[in-house]
Structure 1
Amino acid sequence: MTGSRFLDVRPAGRHALLVELPDAERTGAFHAELLRRRAAGTLPPVEEIVPGARTVLLDGVPDPEKLARQLTDWDVPSGVADDGDVVEIPVRYDGPDLADVAELWGLGAQQAAARHRSYTYRVAFCGFAPGFGYLTGLPAELHVPRRDTPRTRVPAGALALAGPYTAVYPRSTPGGWQLIGTMPDPTPLWDLSRDGAALLTPGTRVRFVPADSTP
């Protein structure tokens, strides 16, 4: 089932569809459109909507072929509207890789910190570990590579960059991202006792704000 000029819709099981898109921006826009139509009651029955880097999985679809035909007729905006819930995350820009990232950006460390927290980010998708949200919103000229040698341990609450993404590690784990800051007293990013275990869910907007003693 081939879609329109930017949608490729494929079966992914008896009651599931996988929608492939050309880039993260289109994926975010398509995911936002799905949520908008679900809230308005105009989306056909879908139990699960799971975004990825360039895909959206629709699961629990009673009639996948019918929905696929409808999806390929959609006129989806190329970008995501500047709306949705905002989560503010206090951070200190004191990570061990901040100086290296600042050098790549052609800035001093404090300038790099100010530049990073000047943007509003959006959770594109979640993965890697429970509560780990991949945040988009960093301009292309500020994308940085992963570390040549991953760390065997990245502490929980570490603010990190890799490629186009920003993230906060919800728990201690190995990782190869560039560490530029920390959450000094982090609100749990993943808490099974909370109504909605993940603090950061796809579509949520995120702002990083100064914590005490942040440069």
Structure 2
Amino acid sequence: MMDGNGRWAARKRLPRVAGHRAGAQAVRRCIQAAIEHGIPWLTLYAFSSENWRRPAEEVTDLTGLLRHYLRSEIAELHREGVRVRVIGEHARFGPDVRAELDAAERLTRGNTRLTLVIALSYGARGEIVTAARRIAEAVRDGKLSPDSIDEESFARFLATDGVPDPDMVIRTSGECRLSNFLLWQSAYAELVFQDVLWPDFDRQHFADALSVFTSRERRFGARPG
């Protein structure tokens, strides 16, 4: 969870867009760190469904930066063996951004080194509501029996169908909440909160989070032995 771009810019007396640009550099460092550590799946909360409520100028800056990132970085990600997958209501973006996202997914579809899941216009509550609606429609149409619905079948209706649940969720900037991110999927994830603003996030912060993760005993609700 990439948090703190605005505060980083404010501390340096720069416009907020400067913080978002610096955050894009941190994205590059984070992806490279994940590759170096052999992490097979990385999900970045790039634009939440709530972000649409921000001032129009900032939303325009964010979408412009997203467009620039896709055009400038996807070829390199492809060379690195990164597969791109997008979740969320990205249809809300303009046709040019949607075209770039579709092109990125098509180009990188066969890559296996790292799957980069980009959450755009994503909100976990909305995702769960949409899944429930799709299940209700399937039951109504006779395609699904209510008795067959369990956690596994429910998860197939989520945006993350085919994506493993996260083992660890990292949030930067010192905030200690999930903010509507992967609520269903993070039921047993280890939560790591780091007091660093996202634009300053680097390989060492990534390594520190992995160190915290490996030091914890994961019991998945079971009693300790």
TM-score class normalised by the smaller sequence: under 0.3
Q: Greater strand share, 1 or 2?
A: 1
Q: Which has the higher helix share?
A: 2
Larger RCO (alpha carbons 8 Å, 6+ apart): 2
Q: Normalized against structure 1, the TM-score is what?
A: 0.25
TM-score for both structures, normalised by structure 2: 0.24
